Structure 1
Amino acid sequence: MLPPPLKVKMVDPGFPGQHTTTTTVQTSSTTVETSIRFDPFYIRQLPGMLKCAEVVVNLIGFICIEASGFHAESSRGTFFNTVAMTGFWFTGILLALYLFHIVEKLYKIPWVKIEFVFCALWTGLYLIASSLAIAYHVEAYIAAGFFGFCGMVLYGIDAFIKFQAIKNGQLAQGERVISKQTTTISRPAY
């Protein structure tokens, strides 16, 4: 024998006692000054300090390999010097562009994305180049490897900062003002 079917009574919750409508309007405006001018305060900010440190580390690593006397005999030294000198010139030119606000003048170029890709790539290349240099067991190569690992850390920090800037929609130089206007309307309970 089957048990009798269960009867379930559904309770209609009805319309909620309070109704809230929220409207959010987001506007943004970009403010850039397109005149070329020298700004020594850039090197006192974190991105400027990072670029200066990267230029110095690239140059010191290059000099260590060149001073070893083995740079012509080893493909490791050639690879390290290629990474160091490309980083030196690219970062040095970017530093000059930022110091003279040329990046701000050319604000339509996606500078932050370009720098993120470069810094992320150089983090990996310095890891490889420094590991190869240290494994050569020559004092100058070991010193260059140390500075290469310092460069790897600097470029890694710079890549992280650029990633955060991309995520937040920041400009490389200049200001982007994003304002939000939120309106909330609450209806009383009936």
Structure 2
Amino acid sequence: MRTTEETEGFDGEASNTSMISGASSPYQPTTEPVHSRNVFGGIVCDMEYLKSYLGILKVVEVVLSLIGFICIETIMMCSPCGGVYFFEFVSCSALVVTGVLLLIFCLNIHTKVPHVNWSLTDLVNTGASTLFFFLSSLVLACINHNTGAEIAAVIFGFLVTVVYGINTLLAVRKWRRGAGCQGVAQASDYIRARTASRGEVEPRPELA
């Protein structure tokens, strides 16, 4: 039988061996905190944009488009219904697209997607909305049954047409300003590259 001293010796060796193996193991416990990723980090509401002319126009466009869409949806019977359906499609499309652009500009999401020309996108949206709202309001004004909902839809349709028209003019100026700055930057880069390339070319020796 083993004595008590031998048993204690074996226990000490086993504990030392486990400590050594634990120290040499690559899988060590860590006490570093795990930081959770914030998907919506950096997205804040830009109040300066909402207070600007473009922001105010966007809000007015969304509100008027929504009112026009609600007015046209309250019409229960129509014959013919072409003007009603046309105005319904235009008001709904403008409401969705303009609302999405308002959120993108208000939350500064456009700065996270720089490869998209947002000025041109806004210009196309406002120009198309101006044209189609004018056409749909004109068609509904000519083909209607003189109901209150149709008259209200026509009024709000022409109002939002004017607002979209003003926004289109401002969007054109903003797009031209951005295109001009981009053209100047490209020209300066081209001149800088030409100057650098000329500086690297060695002068030719004169012919004897």
TM-score by length of 1: 0.68
**Cα distance, 1:114 vs. partner?**
1.2
Q: Read off the aligned partner of 1:103 and give its amino acid letter.
A: H
In structure 1, the gaps of 5 or more residues are 1-33, 180-190
Distance 1:94 1:71, change over 3 A: farther
Cα distance in 2, alignment partners of residues 87 and 163 from structure 1: 19
Q: How many residues align?
A: 142
**Cα distance, 1:73 vs. partner?**
5.9
Cα distance in 2, alignment partners of residues 167 and 128 from structure 1: 27
1:155 to 164, 175, 186: 164
Cα distance in 2, alignment partners of residues 50 and 63 from structure 1: 20
Identity of aligned residues (%): 30
**Does residue 142 of structure 2 align to residue 122 of structure 1?**
no
Q: Read off the aligned partner of 2:152 and give its amino acid letter.
A: A
The two structures, once aligned, show a CA RMSD in angstroms of 2.5
- Equivalent runs, 1:100-119 vs 2, <5 Å: 100-119=107-126
TM-score by length of 2: 0.62
Cα distance in 1, alignment partners of residues 59 and 155 from structure 2: 18
In structure 2, the gaps of 5 or more residues are 1-40, 186-208
Tell me the alpha carbon deviations over residues 87-146 of structure 1, each in whole angstroms, 9 at most, x when there is no partner: 000011111111110012212211111111111111110111101112213321111011
Tell me if structure 1 keeps the 8 A contact 2:133–2:160.
Answer: yes
Tell me if structure 1 keeps the 8 A contact 2:61–2:164.
Answer: yes
**If each structure's helix is expressed as a fraction of its own residues, which one has the higher value?**
2
**If each structure's strand is expressed as a fraction of its own residues, which one has the higher value?**
1
1:142 to 151, 154, 159: 151
1:75 to 82, 103, 108: 82
Cα distance in 1, alignment partners of residues 171 and 115 from structure 2: 17
Larger Rg: 2
Cα distance in 2, alignment partners of residues 62 and 87 from structure 1: 10
Q: Which has the higher contact order (CA 8 A, sep 6+)?
A: 1
Q: Secondary structure at the match of 1:169?
A: helix
Tell me if structure 1 keeps the 8 A contact 2:98–2:125.
Answer: no
